[in-house]
Structure 1
Amino acid sequence: MRRFCTSGPVDKRTCYYVERPDIMEEALDKIETWRYFTVSAPRQTGKTTFLNDIVEKTKDKYLPMFISFESYGNKDEKDFLETLVADIIDDINYRYNKKIELKIPKSIDKIRILLKEIYSEMGKEIILMIDEFEKLEENLINQFLHVIRSVYHKKEIYKLRSAILISVSYLSGVLEDNASPFNIAEHIEVPYFTKEQVYDLLSQHEKETGQTFDDKVKELIWENAAGQPGLTNALANDLVEKKAKNKKLITEEHFEKTLYDFLRKYINKNIENVISKAKSEKELIMQILFEPDKIEFDISDERIKYLYLNGVIDECNGYCCVKVPLYYKKLYNHFKPQINGEKKYMATLKDTVREYIKEDGSLDLNKLLKRYVKYIKSRGATMFKGRNYYEGVYQYNLDQFLSLYVEAAEGKVYPETQVGGGRIDLLINFNSKEYLIEVKADITGNEYEKAKKQLLEYIKRSGLKEGWLVVYSDSVKDFKHEIEEKDGVKLNIWFIKTNFEAPSKIM
């Protein structure tokens, strides 16, 4: 029985596998037309699996050689050439069960002779595929690329039908310049799974085992991993191997436990890599996280390029964003503003959640927000005065307050959750009912009207009748709660004053 693959290249014999027909057709077409190209994608997005599939589809007609430079980092020219030849011999033996002998070139420039020798031994045109190419020492990279470039211009002589360089990033420092020794190359980027591909992956498990994913669970896997292959497989694997093992139906309750563990307990190498890369650009990632739609996406900015090429951020309507919700939630928790010690002000010994639960078991969110206003009135001068806050700082403050009460009654507060074709700032799930909250800070009148319209659409698409807009502003004179109704939907608008006097002036 196959399984969800959570590490290393996918073996179709043991793992569920998603076909990539569009990019596969593009890659095979480039090979057929003697093109040299690069393939890039962040880690655990399936690029090595994709390249292994190219090997399987071409090895009867051509001689694909797939080697990795992962361990080549500290080698000098002599060691590099010895290891390269040894890896080529091993790869041919592994794929074709044929042992050959090759001479070790005396210099990198002599690799062209090595190519002729390989063709003479095997009788097939060569596809040279090199993974982790950027691990090679920079001087060796340039020498190697110069040789490949010279071969490219006489490729029929050397029988190198295609050279494919694979990397985590776009090899931007080596390949993008017109003067680059490899500016002959085209580029393929391995995308995340589409929604249809995610559902196909899950259906393979259903057909082989009889265990089924509830439709809502499939949607949640898609929404939280956004098609990121490594995360999609990891979430599904945790559900079938741990949370719902031996169960016929995987439910939303199972998924909530899985999501909690990924956010709070597990050390996932894919997520940890994203956090590690984000740390190096902390100030920028803080702005992207906590001041959405403010940082324009411009690949010429080296900071943005770095985060993009390492799979941390993406482009959303012209702005930088964290497109994978699970990444966003982990980064949100990691970089959240430090407001330690506030809980004792948010809820005292006299405060319990009982008074905020209605007789029908629903949450009296407006009454709870009145308690929040009371908290801000007492702590606003300390919390907000004289600080250059991003919008997300206010959101996190509200998130922490609501979580303190809602989770005491076994409800959940989720930040940045997919709803109604968009992403809501805060979603409360309480006694099987959802409450949508959009948070805005220091917005203009036009932005205010846009926020109301956007929230209204989210509410309608989610099949709800009520939603909440919380606006933090220096320009409002006092706290207030307004209600607007449109098309049978109620908008609760809370204005939160942030223009407090300095703490030293408050007696």
Structure 2
Amino acid sequence: MRKFSSYGPIDTDSHYHVPRTELIDLAETQVRGENPAKGGHYITIWSPRQAGKTWIMQNVLWRMQKDERFDVLKINLEHLKQEQEVDSIVQTIAQEIIDDLGLAHPTVQRLKEFSNIFKQDVLHKPLILILDEFDALVPDAISGIAGVFRNIHIKRCDQGHLPTGERDYLLHGVALIGVRAVLGVENVTGSPFNIQRSVHIPNLTFDEVESMFQWYERESGQRVEPEVIAQVFYETQGQPGLVSWFGELLAETYNKHNPAITLRDFEIVHSAALNILPNNNILNIISKAKQEPYRSLVLDMFQTTEKLPFRYDDPATNFLYMNGVVAQESVDETTHYLKFPAPFVQKRLFNYFSNELFRYVGRLYQPFESLEDTITDDSLHIPNLLRRYERYLQENRHWLLKDAPRRTDLRIYEAVYHFNLYMYLARFLQSHRGQVFPEFPTGNGKIDLIIRYVGQMYGLEVKSYQNAFAYREALGQAAQYGKQLKLDEITLVFFVEAIDAASRTQYEAVYHDAETGVTVRPVFVATG
């Protein structure tokens, strides 16, 4: 029986997978050329980690190796990521080409000799070269090798009237997998890699994710509830590595071998994946997100006042996008915003920054202080809990926010208060056997906290106050979210620097939404 696998390229005989035939066809056509006799293309194959780049190009390799018109090589470069000397890197790559193709000559010792290996009197036939993990190389090597390819590309174009096998250089096609720098964002000298011919590896669709679990059902005889598949897709947004990881956890690690994998089973797996299990994909995302100058953009993305525009040529956006930390949201044909790529990724980042900034939150209340106005054995009073939090924040902000990250205008990032509220609630509820969970329905501009206590669920939508118009709009949005959660009442939490008594009375008035039937209770938290 097959297994789910999230570790490296999949084995189609051993692992559940999606054929992705159209994508393989596209990549093959792009690198070999629409009319191979006239030459191929120099392209890039790119996507964040664990999206299936290597597997796609393995399939392209196996197909093209059956075409006797070409020699086809795929070389993995990850083992050279620690090598700093460009000439040493080039020498290693050249030697592998020589060995794999059985070439008698030449010997390549330096970058300027690298092009010699692709000459007509050296190669036996036109060569299609696939370089995996190309962006693992040091920048000078990326730039230098791309420059060699550029020179060969231009010379082959100058001889475009000749068949591909009769030109001075026989480097018919090149595919660079996993690249970022050669796309022209950081390479000021230009690049032969026309990004219109680049192949982006997209996430899986819902139907593709569903097909993998249906395949598992047929082979195992164990049913997977449709809600489980829906949740896997929602949390991962079809990111192949994460889909397969959740599949592995559900089908193997946490499988109780009941007749069906249920939503409760998913909740157990989801909690473990969020809190106790390592995942190389997620660890890589966190390692990129916590670096400056990228950290500032990530923190800004947790704000609720406005969405940030997506601009590919912004270096921070480009770096985070290519490393799977952020994605693009297109609301129409001309409007594009930044968003996190999946709720699960956003939750892991939210947890990371919350713990980094507020691992210690201090004393929440005095040892013998009565909490009866806030929590009892069978109920939780959310407005009073938020009043307690407001007092706690104002009394402790002098040390609590002393080293908090700040924007260029020296104001504390909005997200910092959200992290602190979350950690406060988690600590408060922990001693009463309650739990709080962050939810991110949109990937940008919206943060919700779900509290579970003695069998009851409470919903909090967290905002920063802007103006009266945004306030009224938020009331309606909160009511819709309450309806989605099947709650009769939801709390709308507004952070604001200061609020006078009259404004608090006016703006904390309970709102009853006629359309949804949901009651919205606004509560303002003054940050001081």
- After TM superposition, the score normalised by the length of structure 1 is 0.83
Tell me which amino acid in the other structure corresponds to 1:16: Y
Query: CA–CA distance in 2 between the matches of 1:278 and 1:183?
Result: 29
Hey, what's the Cα distance between the residues in 1 that align with 2:340 and 2:419?
17
Whole-Å separation in 2 of the counterparts to 1:294 and 1:419: 11
Q: Structure 2 matches for 1:49-448, cutoff 5 A?
A: 49-61=55-67, 63-72=71-80, 73-74=83-84, 77=87, 80-81=90-91, 83-87=93-97, 89-90=99-100, 100-106=102-108, 107-113=113-119, 117-119=123-125, 126-134=127-135, 135=137, 137=141, 138-151=143-156, 153-154=158-159, 155-158=164-167, 160-169=171-180, 171-173=182-184, 179-183=190-194, 186-280=197-291, 281-290=294-303, 293-316=306-329, 317=331, 318-336=336-354, 338-339=357-358, 341-342=360-361, 344-346=363-365, 348-350=367-369, 356=375, 363-364=379-380, 367-377=381-391, 379-383=393-397, 388-408=411-431, 410-418=433-441, 424-430=447-453, 434-448=457-471
With 108-117 and 329-338 compared, the bigger mean Cα shift is at 108-117
Q: Counterpart of 2:509 in 1: which secondary structure?
A: strand
After superposition, give the CA deviation of every residue in 1:263-313 in whole Å (9 maximum; x if it has no partner): 222221111111111122222221123456343222222112111111111
Q: 1:277 to 1:227 in 2, by over 3 A?
A: same
Instruction: Give the drift of 1:447.
Output: 1.5
**Structure-2 change in CA distance of 1:89 and 1:437 (3 Å):** same
Hey, what does 1:122 align to over in structure 2? Answer: none
Match of 1:504 in 2: none
Instruction: Quickly say closer, same or farther: Cα 1:321–1:229, change in 2 above 3 A.
Output: same
Distance 1:78 1:395 in 2: 49
- Cα separation, 1, equivalents of 2:397 and 2:289: 26
Question: Residue 126 of structure 1 contacts residue 160 of structure 1 at CA under 8 Å; is this kept in 2?
Answer: yes
1:208, distance to aligned residue in structure 2 (A): 1.3
Cα drift, residue 491 of structure 1? 2.9
Q: Which residue of 2 is the match for residue 491 of structure 1? A: 519
Is this contact kept in 1: 2:51–2:201, CA < 8 A?
A: yes
Cα distance change of structure 1 residues 284 and 225 upon mapping to structure 2, 3 Å threshold: same
1:421 and 1:103 map into 2 onto residues whose CA distance is 56
Deviations along 1:405-457, one digit per CA (max 9) or x if unpaired, are: 54455543221343899965222345665433211112222222222222233
Figure out how many residues of one structure are paired with residues of the other and give that number: 482
C-alpha distance in 2, partners of 1:10/1:22?
A: 18
Distance 1:47 1:278, change over 3 A: same
AA aligned opposite 1:80:
V
- Do the aligned partners of residues 270 and 378 (structure 1) sit closer, same or farther apart at CA in structure 2, a change above 3 Å counting? closer
Bigger shift: residues 188-197 or 445-454: 445-454
Three-state SS of the structure 2 residue aligned to 1:3 is: coil
Name stretches of at least 5 consecutive residues in structure 1 with no aligned partner.
Answer: 93-99, 120-124, 501-507
* RMSD of aligned Cα (Å): 3.4
The alpha carbon displacement at 1:404 in A equals 3.6
Instruction: Identify which of 31, 38, 43 aligns with 1:37.
Output: 43
Q: Is the 8 A contact 2:42 2:192 kept in 1?
A: no
Q: CA deviation at 1:11?
A: 1.1
Aligned to 1:503: none
Contact 1:482 1:492 in 2 (8 A): no
How far, CA to CA, are the matches of 1:190 and 1:80 in structure 2?
28
Moved more, 289-298 or 75-84: 75-84
In 2, the alpha carbon distance for the partners of 1:211 and 1:111 equals 55
Distance (whole Å) between structure 2 residues aligned to residue 193 and residue 429 of structure 1: 32
> For residues 497 and 68 of structure 1, do their structure 2 counterparts lie closer, same or farther at Cα, with a shift above 3 Å needed?
closer
- 2:475/2:520 contact within 8 Å kept: no
* 8 Å contact from structure 2 (residues 4, 245) kept in 1: yes
Percent of aligned pairs with the same amino acid:
24
Q: SS state of the match for residue 373, structure 1? A: helix
Letter in 1 for 2:289: A
Note the residue ranges of structure 2 that are not aligned, 5 or more in a row. Answer: 35-39, 405-410
Deviation at 1:243, TM superposition (A): 1.2
Deviates more, 1:461-470 or 1:338-347: 338-347
Post-superposition offset of 1:341: 5.0
Q: Please report how far the alpha carbon of residue 78 of structure 1 lies from its aligned counterpart in structure 2 after TM superposition.
A: 7.0
The equivalent of 2:408 in structure 1 is: none
Do the aligned partners of 2:482 and 2:518 also contact (CA within 8 Å) in 1?
no
For residues 32-89 of structure 1, what are the alpha-carbon distances to aligned partners after superposition, in whole Å with 9 as ceiling and x for unaligned? 4133311111111111011112223333235432112223444554773464343564
